Structure 1
Amino acid sequence: MITTQASRASHPSHARRASAGPAARRPRLVYVLLIALVVMFVLPLLWALSSSFKHRGDIFTYPPQPLPSPFTLENYTRLLETQPFWGWFATSTVVAVVSTAVSVFVCALAGFAFAKYRFRGKRLLFDVMFSSMAVPFAVIVVPLFVMLVKAGVTNVYFSLIVPWVAPAFGIFMMRQYAEQAVPDSVLEAARIDGASEFGLFTRVVLPLLRPALGALAVWGFLNSYNSFLWPLIVVSDPAQYTLPLGIQSLYAAEARQVDLVLAGSVLAAIPSLIMFILLRKQLLDGLTAGAVKS
């Protein structure tokens, strides 16, 4: 009997089963955790979408109803008819698109300079820029507002765009990616062919930075589009509110218009989804760059 057990233990198939047991459970545990996270994030979105088509009295019924019964579009019609929603939508979208385009270009230019050029004070300048990431935005809100007032810049759109023009995280991200993705030999070959430094950047460097540009564009767009604290300080006219301010004003009203808040939140999520769909390939490529050794 001892011989039989020893022979079974020494058989390759039994050894593989014994060793594969704990290893096989790990992927299952990872899948279970990932599914739980997906459910945790998706359920509130589905609840908001479903409740936006319910009457206000049916939103908080217990037990909760997964599907609206009866189905109604009254929340959307009331929101669009009684509130300047499209003005809020236009302000947020224009500010987010312009600030994203400007910040992507500026961050790529600055990151490329930090990665491939040598100049006096480069290390100190980069350290100061990088250390600013440790300063919460709420700390600089008041000084930034005072600077804009002293400079006489009162245009709402300009004031909303300024904080997102050159984020330290974007410059750091582009610098790290440029060091890996832009070979020095390519730059030297372009200079030998007679390319100017700015032409070198626009024609050679930017195409090589495309994955990182897509990831940075999504990050910058969401930061600007979802910003609440800075527009709260800068904007005073309700007609010029951004979407977060406008939706918050609906809930802050005496009636606590939760039905309109849900409808506005669903409509406000559309640009973010479009942005992600258009740049999902660049976003995934930019986030995974450097994760696998070539």
Structure 2
Amino acid sequence: MKRRHDLSLKLTAYLVSALFAVLILFPIIYTFGNSLKDENKIYEIPPKIFPSHARSVTVVLDYSDYKNASKAELLDKLMIDSTLAIYTIPYDLNKASIYEVKVVGVKDAKSIFYTRVHRAQMRLELDFGLYNNAMIKKEVLLYQGKYKQSAATFGYEFNEAGIHRSYNRDQIGNNTFNMPIGESLVSKYQINGRFIGTVLENKPLLMFENYKYFFQLPAHMYSDDPVVTTYSYWIFLWNTVIVLSFAIFIQTFLCALTAFPLSRVFNRRISNVLLMFFLGTMMVPFVSIMIPQFLMFKQAGFYDNYLALLIPYLTPAATFVYLYKVFFDKLPGSLFEAAKIDGASTWYCFTRICLPLSKPVLSLVALTTFLDNWNDFFWAYMVSERSQLWTLNVALYHMAQNSFAKQNFIMGLSFAAIIPVLFITVLFSKQVRQTIVFSGIKE
């Protein structure tokens, strides 16, 4: 009977744990799945967690009729046609999950031109780059020679003598999109080349290529900031790493340095009074002092610079001070007495005895500081005005507020911001469990 009761209890515990794991992981998985979709499929009803297709379309155009055209004239026509195909095919077939458009120009049965563009790359240029949220019209795409800049941005291969680019001739035209694409390019957009046909392929790996262009979004969105233009997403990550590294180093050392005299230097009466002071600060919500602190920092010149982001961490956190003190109190007094008999100083006792033994607490403080400050938003948002100083959370907030930013881009960058938290938590899970043991030291 007891064995059956224990078995049912374990089964219930496993089921509850599995349920909570699913509830915690589902939003992360859903965010990742939406980041793999295109900007239209993300709003599909009923919603799907992952996209079902990632199609690649190869458009083949023949320019054999331009035998007397110069090299420059032929290239100009190729750039016009490729620009029209690249931008209009995903736009006209917005529910077809077309992630890639390739254009192959042939002349006298030889491939002479090739260009390839990913859908996310095209969206960057269309929303924030060359066309800056312009409408998809032939007149707009070709306005003032912008098609030349577009072709240069995406890159292309051109050689009248022939290039080593081939396509599946057996599959050309054998797809449901061949006719609508051909009619659109010939009738609606009036391309120069003769439409031969299209080759349709399903390439699931194109979904993951989204992330290559997600990280380029800040450079396009904040092109007026030279630092963000140069480093894009990585400047935000660098700012976050700077703040986190400083916070972790200061909090792990400063809180230990504050707790040591409370535990081993001051008498119990003074120690308790000072400890109550630190614990009392925990009762004051940060929201109540945030505005006065902001005004004080701004008047002191700590605004819109790295000092404004770093200086708040010079104050030891009361929670960590208390944690260190409890740990130091549990250390055997004989360790310190023996060290002092041998002539050890107080600093020696702190650095050579307390700190080496407090590795589990150091790990917990470092992990907690990492998680708290990785998720921090309000203070960094208040004191950083220039985009080159934003941390990841602040940058994500500003990018999400832009009405032209596509949701799959925002979800992709949000998922990328979650990965370090999951990695660090798993990496330090063993150290966190060890904190309850306190190294197994007893009086």
Q: Shorter chain as normaliser: what TM range?
A: 0.7 to 0.9
C-alpha distance in structure 2 between counterparts of 1:122 and 1:145, whole Å = 31
Q: Which among 294, 303, 310 is matched to residue 161 of structure 1?
A: 310
More helix by share: 1
1:62, distance to aligned residue in structure 2 (A): 3.1
TM-score, normalised by the number of residues in structure 2 = 0.58
Decide which moves more: 45-54 or 94-103: 45-54
The Cα of 1:272 is off from its aligned counterpart by: 2.5
Residue equivalent to 1:5: none
Of 239-248 and 46-55, the range deviating more from structure 2: 46-55
- After TM superposition, list the pairs within 5 Å mapping 1:102-181 onto structure 2: 102-119=250-267, 121-154=270-303, 156-165=305-314, 166-180=316-330
Which residue of 2 is the match for residue 233 of structure 1?
A: 382
Q: How far apart are residue 192 of structure 1 and its match?
A: 1.8
| Unmatched runs of 5 consecutive residues or more in structure 2 | 55-203, 219-231
In 1, Cα distance between equivalents of 2:434 and 2:38: 43
Larger RCO: 1 or 2 (CA < 8 Å, sep 6+): 1
Counterpart pick for 2:212 among 68, 77, 80: 77
Give the structure 2 partner of residue 6 of structure 1: none
Output the amino acid matched with 1:43.
F
- With over 3 angstroms needed to count, the CA separation of the structure-2 counterparts of 1:24 and 1:147, relative to structure 1, is same
- Please tell me whether the aligned partners of residues 215 and 413 of structure 2 are also in contact (alpha carbons under 8 angstroms): no
Looking at secondary structure, tell me which structure has more strand per residue: 2
Deviation of 1:130 (Å): 0.3
CA contact (8 A) 1:250 1:257 kept: no
Q: Aligned partners of 2:404, 2:249: CA distance in 1, in Å?
A: 39
SS at the partner of 1:56?
A: coil
Residues 87-133 of structure 1, C-alpha deviations (whole Å, 9 max, x = no match): 11100111111111111001111122222222574322211210211
Percent identity over the alignment is: 26
Of the three residues 228, 245, 259, the one matched with 1:97 is: 245
Q: Secondary structure at the match of 2:40?
A: helix
**Paired position in structure 2 for 1:269:** 418
The one-letter amino acid of 2:23's match is M
Q: Could you tell me which residue of structure 1 aligns to residue 61 of structure 2?
A: none
Q: How many residues align?
A: 275
Residues 214 and 413 in structure 2, CA contact (< 8 A), matched pair in contact too: yes
Secondary structure of 2:49's counterpart equals coil
Structure 1 pair 59–155 and aligned structure 2 pair: CA distance change class (3 A) = closer
Distance in 1 between residues matched to 2:420 and 2:245, nearest whole Å = 10
Contact preservation (8 Å) 2:259, 2:325:
yes
User: Contact conserved, 1:213 with 1:282, CA < 8 A, in 2?
Assistant: no
Matched with 1:259 is 408
Q: How far did 1:147 drift? A: 2.5
Using the size of structure 1 for normalisation, the TM-score is: 0.85
- For the structure 1 residues 122 and 143, does the alpha-carbon distance in structure 2 shift closer, same or farther, using more than 3 Å as the test? farther
| Post-superposition offset of 1:73 | 4.0
Partner of 2:342: 193
1:210 and 2:345 correspond: no
SS in structure 2 at match of 1:93: helix
Q: Aligned with 1:195: secondary structure?
A: coil
Q: Give yes or no for contact 1:164–1:220 (8 Å, CA) kept in 2.
A: no
Residues 21-30 or 224-233, more deviating: 21-30
Point out the structure with max Rg over C-alpha: 2
